Structures are given as structure tokens and as C-alpha cells.
């Protein structure tokens, strides 16, 4: 016997709760009202990457990568920033890390037995504002994007990377306008190897 869930409905936010005077939009406001928090900033970064590559697929929490492109490119997304949603004595030092991980196998209904780098391309998203007066997470010009292919990321073997190492691995940061093409180029060798 299997317990395969149906596809999640696409919500508008207007859907009411049964037994509570609230709608889904009220829950979203409660849970994700601050786009600066680490988890929500991560979701926002994944959304921006999805927009850059024209993906309309909803994120899947347990998937071994974050965004799937229309051409099948699997993209892992990490985010960081100098400012946090809490008080700070000094700016945060951006660091990112991607290690080999187990992936969920839907066919087997279990986690894979070996760890691996599961994406074709890796995008490291940095929100660059250094004052809260300037901070606007919805302004894509305040974001920088570092894009690396699978092989380049594997060379780090899961090590934590600051901006200097990240630039060596992924090249110079890109604006949002160049992100889609960079992901396609970075992911192509791995994607082609998978399809061969």
C-alpha cells in the first residue's frame, strides 16, 4: 500500500479556514511577513532563481534540489546577506556551504543510500544591502548571484565558502538580468551527462 499525496492545490490566498475567521493570506502574513528572516529569504532566493529560468513549478520541500528548469536543469539555491531580521552589533559575514547529501527517492519511497551532489547548477544569492533604511528584498538590483556548475561545487567538498572563495569557484557576481543564461550554461554539462 502506498500513500501518494495528490498534487497540492494552487492557492490564491483568499481560501478561508473552516472554523477560524482567517484566510490563507492571513497565514502567509503570519508565517512569512518578514522577507529578511533566514528561511524566508531562502524561499525568496529560490523564487527569484525560478523566475530567472522561467520555471513555474512550485518548490518541493524534500526534493534533493530547489528549482527545476523547463529544460530539466536541477538547481540548488543558497542565500546569504549582510543584514538580519534581528539586532546586530556588526554586519554578518556572508558564507555559503553545499555538501553532498542524501536525496529522496519517490519511486522507492525512501532516502537514497549514498550521498551526492544532486543539482546540475548551484546559485548562491547574496542580498547586498548594508543598512536597514536601504534594505528592499523585492528590488532585484540589491541581489548578486554567483553561479557554479556541479563539478566546480564538488571541488569544495562541502567546505564553507566566503565571498573570496565563492568568486574563485563561481566567478564574479552577476545581476539578475544575466542569471538565467548563466544557470543554463553552468548546468548544461551535468544535464547532458545525465541524459546520455
Instruction: Classify residue 53: in a domain, yes or no.
Output: yes
Structural domain of residue 135, as residue ranges? 38-195
Q: Find how far residue 148's CA is from the centre of its chain.
A: 13
Q: How far apart are CA 167 and CA 91, in angstroms?
A: 20
Q: In this structure, is residue 9 part of a structural domain?
A: no
Let me know: does 142 contact 77? Beta carbons within 8 Å: no
In a domain, 32, yes or no: no
Residue 47 falls within a domain, yes or no?
Answer: yes
Centre a 10 Å sphere on the Cβ of residue 118 and count the other Cβ atoms it contains.
Answer: 18
Is residue 20 in a domain?
Answer: no
Is 101 among the domain residues? yes
> Model-level pTM?
0.90
What is the pLDDT confidence band of residue 144, given thresholds at 50, 70 and 90? very high
Is residue 109 over pLDDT 80? Answer: no
The answer to whether position 15 is within a domain reads: no
In the chain, the percentage of residues whose pLDDT exceeds 90 is 66
* Domain-located, residue 21: no
Amino acid at each position: 500500500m502506498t500513500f501518494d499525496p495528490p498534487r497540492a492545490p494552487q492557492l490564491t490566498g483568499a481560501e478561508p479556514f473552516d472554523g477560524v475567521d482567517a484566510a490563507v493570506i492571513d497565514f502567509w502574513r503570519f508565517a512569512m511577513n518578514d522577507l529578511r528572516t533566514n528561511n524566508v529569504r531562502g524561499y525568496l532566493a529560490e523564487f527569484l532563481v525560478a523566475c530567472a529560468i522561467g520555471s513555474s513549478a512550485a518548490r518541493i520541500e524534500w526534493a534533493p534540489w530547489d528549482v527545476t528548469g523547463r529544460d530539466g536543469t536541477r538547481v540548488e539555491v543558497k542565500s546569504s546577506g549582510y543584514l538580519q531580521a534581528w539586532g546586530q552589533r556588526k554586519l554578518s559575514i556572508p558564507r555559503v556551504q553545499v555538501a553532498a547529501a542524501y536525496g529522496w527517492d519517490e519511486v522507492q519511497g525512501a532516502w537514497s543510500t549514498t550521498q551526492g551532489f544532486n543539482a546540475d547548477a548551484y546559485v548562491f544569492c547574496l542580498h547586498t544591502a548594508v543598512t536597514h533604511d536601504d534594505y528592499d528584498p523585492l528590488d532585484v538590483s540589491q541581489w548578486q548571484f554567483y553561479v557554479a556548475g556541479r563539478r566546480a561545487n564538488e571541488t569544495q567538498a562541502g567546505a564553507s565558502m566566503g565571498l573570496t572563495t565563492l568568486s574563485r569557484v563561481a566567478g564574479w557576481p552577476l545581476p539578475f538580468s544575466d542569471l538565467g543564461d548563466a544557470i543554463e550554461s553552468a548546468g548544461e554539462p551535468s544535464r547532458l551527462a545525465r541524459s546520455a
